[in-house]
Amino acid sequence: MVDATAELRATSDLLLLDLEALGQLEEQKRSTPHGDEKLVELASRIEEIAQRVLHGSRRQRELTETVTEAAQAGAVAQTGTIDAMRSVSAILSDWREAERVAGQAAPGSSERREAEAMADRFREEYRRAFDAARRAGDR
């Protein structure tokens, strides 16, 4: 059951990142002139991410059904949530990957902006996890 809970958290994290990216791309699309070739590129990127969101939300529903059934059967704590922090090493790995993708993407591209947004989010998650670990050590 730990696998379903961990996958649910990962799916939730990815959905939040994709939704954030969608918002940023939509804002960029709104300010792009009609004749600019980037408009089609932006619309294509938005469509691609929206399809991932749809797939991810379907997967998340399946996982929540599994986790809910397990909680009702007593296999996992009913008071548990998917908001529990991931391991610092997992966060750091994701952060490094996002930085790598951003570094390889073309300057000014939507892919680079999306990867930079993901890196920022992982950096903040890492800071929160590090602070929580430090507070736990101080007790």
State which of 48, 66, 84 marks the end of a domain: 84
Overall domain count for the chain: 2
Shared domain check, 97 and 52: no
Same domain for 90 and 63, yes or no, is no
Residue that wins the pLDDT comparison between 21 and 127: 21
Say which amino acid occupies 39: L
Choosing from 59, 84, 109, the residue where a domain stops is: 84
Q: Are residue 101 and residue 75 in the same domain, yes or no?
A: no
Give the model's pLDDT for residue 13.
Answer: 78
Q: List, for residues 9-63, the tens digit of each pLDDT value.
A: 778 878 888 898 899 999 999 999 999 999 999 999 999 999 999 999 999 999 9
Residues 96 and 77 grouped into a single domain:
no
Q: Tell me: do 72 and 89 sit in the same domain.
A: no
Are residues 118 and 59 part of one domain?
A: no
* 41 and 101 belong to one structural domain: no
pLDDT of residue 45: 94
> pLDDT tens across 11-22, in order?
887 888 889 889
- pLDDT given for residue 49 in this prediction: 94
Among residues 84, 102, 125, the one where a domain terminates is 84
Q: pLDDT grade, residue 78 (50/70/90)?
A: confident
Residues 22 and 6 in one domain: yes
Pair (99, 124) in one structural domain: yes
139 pLDDT band, cuts 50/70/90, is very low
Question: Quick one: three-class SS letters along the chain?
Answer: CHHHHHHHHHHHHHHHHHHHHHHHHHHHHHCCCCCCCHHHHHHHHHHHHHHHHHHHHHHHHHHHHHHHHHHHCCCCCCCCCCCCCCCHHHHHHHHHHHHHHHHHCCCCCHHHHHHHHHHHHHHHHHHHHHHHHHHHHHC
Domain that holds residue 110: 85-139
Taking the C-alpha atoms of residue 108 and residue 106, their distance in angstroms, rounded to an integer, is: 6
Clarify whether residues 94 and 52 are in a common domain.
Answer: no
